[in-house]
Structure 1
Amino acid sequence: MAPTDTATPPSSQSSTSGPDTSTLTSTPSAPQSAPSDLPSGTLGGDTQNTGERITIGLFIAVPFVALLAAIPVAWMGGMLSWLDVTLAVVMYLIAGHGITVGFHRHFTHRAFKANRPTKIAMAISGSMAIEGPVIRWVADHRRHHKYADKEGDPHSPWRYGNNVPALIKGMFFAHMGWMFDVEQTDQRKFAPDLLKDKDIRLVSRLFPLWVAISLLLPPIVGGLATWSWQGALTAFFWATLVRVGLLHHVTWSINSICHAIGERPFESRDKSGNVWWLAVLSMGESWHNLHHADPTSARHGVLKGQIDSSARVIKILERFGWVWDARWPSAERIEGKRVDDYGGEKTLVAP
């Protein structure tokens, strides 16, 4: 069982030292009381039952099998069309940026403000990534930042120790194993602002509807566009199953891979690192070291050449006037967070 979200974090550490793995295996403290007058943001509340765990398992396993089968299926030919590719890419970008721009940078860290239609659209599009209801996702991630790589972190790869067997076990746990914990993050403690927001609470509770739309929209479009069952089937395989599987594992890789390897040019109290080869697929989220050094920054890829499409989306929304007060990092702020002996590129990306 993962540590409870009420554990008291140990003293902070420099990003240049390994995490105190002894705290990650200690007995968690008893839960503290949370405000009881707030409604739940999910239908299942804060405790996961057997049915939910089975459902999570299916939503992990089936798209993953499809992802593994994608290469041989494409190699055989006749099972992949330009319509399938287009649907898959469009759905990936909509749901993916819903997670990175909406769930992460807006709802979790308040890196910018948004008007009501944009706020609702981001919550719905992020829900279509099928990574859980928005309020539960935000509560988990805020808890992660509070206890990053220490006791209380819901998905640290260092929880079992820092030798090779322990790290392998920890990497699996950080990647997907943590989602099967019976005890869930207390939404009333970590996301009370979202629970008080009637729009977001409704979107969160309607998560099954957004899942159904995400699963069924590609085959409906594919079937109608080709007027055939084969068009619907191939669209479901590529733009639903493969797309969901790829997006899941890219997102989870930020939890696992980006907390185990990568460059660390900025000072942070955990083991977050920059992993360049995940940057495009993660829409800029894999510049994870800067994010943990400056969590409210609207841009994560702040050095020259660091692709961050999520920051570009925020910039576009800002130009339309749909979002404002974006926390674009200044050169002085970023330089102040650098590790003194880091010899990497000094050029910053303009806000």
Structure 2
Amino acid sequence: MTTAMPAAARSDTDHLARRLAYLTVCVPAAGFAAAVAFAWHYGFTVTDGALLAGMYLVTALGVEGGLHRFFSHKAFAAGPVVTTVWGVAGSMAAQGPILFWVATHRMHHAHTDTDRDPHSPRPIGTGRLARLRGLWHGHVGWLFTVRRSGWSGHVPDLMANRTVMRLNRHYFTWVALGLALPAAVGGLVSGSATGAVSGLLWGGLARIFLLDQVTWGVNSIGHTLGNRPYRTRDNSRNVAALAPFSVGGSWHNNHHAQPALAVTRRTFWQLDIAGSVIRLADRAGLVTNVRYPSRGRRSAENARR
């Protein structure tokens, strides 16, 4: 039996959450601006580009393959070591602890494009600006208004998992690790403090900022613009332009049509990097019980097109 959180405690929780939201949004944005200014003065090196691309790929896979397909939808199973790898990679993206990310996403699926959807981009109010206000809310504004209390009702399975709870408790350690690694590599490769700072800015803060925009873009643009090959009960859409940057997460209508699957690709040309990594992990025996589209269903879907 659970008891309701007192109003004062809820207020304190929401107030702290809003402060964290400002840090989550503003610090990476300031870091991206600082990275551009730093590069203007000191240049943008091959190492900077490699750290940006490498850390982006690792954390993008952590978000899409880990936080999304693994933790949120249980699209495949894994042991403690592989679970830890997915959890650390996703947490280094600095989009929130595992429990918060998963609880928010599960609420999104349960109440997609309704008033109870945490980040629906539906028009807010009336008039010409209503659509823009809704789009802004779906992209980033929701972070400042979403209730942080009551997560346990959406993630009881994860709360019963000791590995996940340990990862969740050390969230800020993983965020710090995601900043320290590129700084250390940048400093070692260049042999200078300038290289370390540049690594921190490009492989750390700028990388977080850019991945945030892509992840949030799936929330906002992915429910506003794009094509709808499947007739879902929501307004989810496929956004092909974001597919490389979201490592397959922007095939959003595909996902909402069959959210439990480990892959979002439905035709040969749809790029799904996260799905390919999961397939490779499956072949290597690192993950099990991977949920793929059944051949019969794929054939029926192709016939309807």
Please indicate, yes or no, whether the TM-score normalized by the shorter chain is above 0.5.
yes
Report matched runs for 1:119-130 at 5 Å: 119-130=83-94
Secondary structure at 2:129 match in 1 = helix
Report matched runs for 1:237-276 at 5 Å: 237-276=201-240
**What does residue 32 of structure 2 align with?**
67
Once the 2 structures are TM-superposed, how far is the Cα of residue 215 of structure 1 from its aligned partner?
1.7
> Could you tell me which of 158, 172, 181 is aligned with 1:194?
158
- Which residue identity lines up with residue 114 of structure 1 in the other structure? A
> Could you tell me which of 21, 24, 43 is aligned with 1:79?
43
- Which residue identity lines up with residue 306 of structure 1 in the other structure? Q
Once the 2 structures are TM-superposed, how far is the Cα of residue 102 of structure 1 from its aligned partner?
0.8
1:220 aligns with 2:161: no
**What does residue 53 of structure 1 align with?**
18
Task: Say whether the 8 Å CA contact 1:267–1:339 is kept in structure 2.
Answer: no
Report matched runs for 1:156-171 at 5 Å: 156-158=120-122, 160=124, 164-171=128-135
Q: 2:58, 2:10 → 1: CA distance?
A: 27
**Distance verdict in 2 for CA 1:266–1:161, change over 3 Å:** farther
- Which residue identity lines up with residue 59 of structure 2 in the other structure? A
Task: Say whether the 8 Å CA contact 2:64–2:247 is kept in structure 1.
Answer: yes
Once the 2 structures are TM-superposed, how far is the Cα of residue 336 of structure 1 from its aligned partner?
4.8
* Aligned residue pairs, count: 300
1:230 aligns with 2:158: no
**Distance verdict in 2 for CA 1:296–1:112, change over 3 Å:** same
- Which residue identity lines up with residue 173 of structure 2 in the other structure? L
Once the 2 structures are TM-superposed, how far is the Cα of residue 211 of structure 1 from its aligned partner?
1.2
Once the 2 structures are TM-superposed, how far is the Cα of residue 202 of structure 1 from its aligned partner?
1.1
Gap runs ≥5 in structure 1: 1-34, 38-43, 341-345, 347-351
1:313 aligns with 2:271: no
> Could you tell me which of 46, 49, 53 is aligned with 1:89?
53
**Distance verdict in 2 for CA 1:215–1:69, change over 3 Å:** closer
**What does residue 241 of structure 2 align with?**
277
More divergent stretch after superposition (93-102 vs 50-59) = 50-59
Q: 2:10, 2:61 → 1: CA distance?
A: 26
Secondary structure at 1:48 match in 2 = helix
Gap runs ≥5 in structure 2: 4-8
Q: 1:262, 1:161 → 2: CA distance?
A: 23
> Could you tell me which of 36, 44, 49 is aligned with 2:2?
36
Q: What TM-score does the superposition give when structure 2 sets the normalisation length?
A: 0.91
Once the 2 structures are TM-superposed, how far is the Cα of residue 36 of structure 1 from its aligned partner?
3.0
Task: Say whether the 8 Å CA contact 2:59–2:92 is kept in structure 1.
Answer: yes
**What does residue 108 of structure 1 align with?**
72
More divergent stretch after superposition (134-143 vs 58-67) = 58-67
**What does residue 111 of structure 2 align with?**
147
What per-residue deviation string (whole Å, max 9, x for no partner) do you get for residues 37-95 of structure 1? 9xxxxxx9996343442232133123224435656765x47421111111111111111
Secondary structure at 1:284 match in 2 = coil
- Alpha-carbon RMSD across the aligned residues, in angstroms, is 2.4
**What does residue 14 of structure 1 align with?**
none
Q: 1:222, 1:288 → 2: CA distance?
A: 35
Q: 1:217, 1:65 → 2: CA distance?
A: 20
**What does residue 184 of structure 1 align with?**
148
Q: 1:289, 1:339 → 2: CA distance?
A: 18
Once the 2 structures are TM-superposed, how far is the Cα of residue 308 of structure 1 from its aligned partner?
0.3
Q: What TM-score does the superposition give when structure 1 sets the normalisation length?
A: 0.79
Task: Say whether the 8 Å CA contact 2:78–2:287 is kept in structure 1.
Answer: yes
- Which residue identity lines up with residue 128 of structure 1 in the other structure? M
Q: 1:198, 1:164 → 2: CA distance?
A: 49
**Distance verdict in 2 for CA 1:161–1:324, change over 3 Å:** farther
Name the structure with the higher helix share. Answer: 2
- Which residue identity lines up with residue 19 of structure 2 in the other structure? I
Secondary structure at 1:261 match in 2 = coil
Q: 1:133, 1:45 → 2: CA distance?
A: 19
**Distance verdict in 2 for CA 1:192–1:67, change over 3 Å:** same
